[in-house]
């Protein structure tokens, strides 16, 4: 059963077409990595999944709910879809514990005690219990991103979206974030991940989607993609990325 279905999605800003007739699927329990050169539209595509970026054409269905339907209660849908951003986007005026509790209380209507307890458990899981009362600005980038993952997990999501989760991090912090993501994948979480980390893709991805210039150029099983990409563009991309 597919958790995310993206069907012939197109989007443009004025004359500039960011997404051209893109289609792909993510099955339940599957990990799909989306890669491609910068400006290829991959970040826009992943933001269309929970309706953060509206689209002009096509249809997106998440866990049986049509995102693009005007009648859809987007906040309710989004509360079941976890998202992790490139720049973490923790709320700077709230402590770490409050960052994790806010949406639990306001969206899921959990009690404060319940939300804090759930948050504390997830903080322990990402190894940051000691930092609960600090503010985001007092943490390193890697720590902030782990908090952001915990914040998304606190909502008990059925699927997780990652938008370049490690590309704003200093190199020495990438691993700590990837470790959390690998663990999540191994537990069977459905994940759609925009990233350049091919090591991560090789390790846990089921499929790889390669995008360029707003199009889905390749959508293949991991082995097939890394063994021999069908398109010239993907081959070039891989050789550049893997060169260093």
Question: What's the min distance (Å) between Cβ of 124 and another protein?
Answer: 21
Q: Is residue 165 within the footprint of another protein (CB under 8 A)?
A: no
Q: Is residue 131 within the footprint of another protein (CB under 8 A)?
A: no
Rounded Cα–Cα distance for residues 84 and 154 (Å): 12
Q: Annotate 136-180 with DSSP letters as a single string.
A: GGGS-HHHHHHHHHHHHHTT--SEEEEESTTTTS-HHHHHHHHHH
CB closer to another protein, 53 vs 215: 53
Q: Is residue 158 within the footprint of another protein (CB under 8 A)?
A: no
Site residues for another protein, 81-110, by CB under 8 A, read 81-83, 85-93, 102-103, 106-108
- For residue 106, CA distances in Å to 110, 117, 239 come to 8, 16, 47
Rounded Cα–Cα distance for residues 153 and 82 (Å): 7
CB closer to another protein, 47 vs 233: 47
Question: What's the min distance (Å) between Cβ of 181 and another protein?
Answer: 17
Distance of CA 28 to the CA centre of its chain: 15
40, 50, 143, 195: which one contacts another protein (CB under 8 A)? 50
Residue in 178, 199, 224, 48 with CA at minimum distance from that of residue 234? 224
Q: Which spans of this chain sit near another protein (rule: CB under 8 A)?
A: 47, 50, 52, 74-83, 85-93, 102-103, 106-108, 134-139, 141, 144, 151-152, 155, 168
């Amino acid at each position: 059963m597919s958790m995310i279905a993206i069907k012939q999605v197109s989007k443009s800003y004025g004359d500039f077409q960011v997404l051209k007739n893109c289609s792909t699927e993510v099955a339940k329990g599957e990990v799909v990595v989306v890669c491609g050169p910068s400006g290829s539209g991959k970040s826009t595509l992943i933001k269309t999944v929970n309706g953060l970026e509206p689209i002009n054409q096509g249809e997106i269905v998440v866990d049986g709910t049509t995102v693009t339907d005007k009648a859809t209660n987007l906040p309710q849908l989004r509360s079941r879809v976890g998202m992790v951003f490139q720049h973490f986007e923790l709320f700077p005026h709230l402590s770490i514990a409050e960052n994790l509790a806010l949406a639990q209380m306001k969206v899921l209507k959990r009690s404060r005690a319940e939300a804090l307890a759930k948050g504390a458990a997830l903080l322990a899981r990402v190894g940051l219990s000691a930092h609960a009362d600090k503010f985001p600005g007092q943490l390193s980038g890697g720590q902030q991103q782990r908090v952001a993952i915990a914040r998304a997990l606190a909502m008990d999501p059925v699927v997780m979206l990652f938008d370049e989760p490690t590309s704003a991090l200093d190199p020495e912090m990438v691993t700590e974030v990837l470790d959390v993501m690998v663990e999540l994948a191994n537990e069977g979480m459905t994940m759609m991940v925009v990233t350049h980390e091919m090591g991560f893709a090789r390790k846990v991805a089921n499929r790889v989607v390669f995008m360029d210039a707003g199009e889905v150029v390749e959508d293949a099983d991991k082995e097939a993609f890394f063994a021999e990409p069908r398109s010239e563009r993907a081959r070039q991309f891989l050789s550049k990325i893997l060169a260093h």
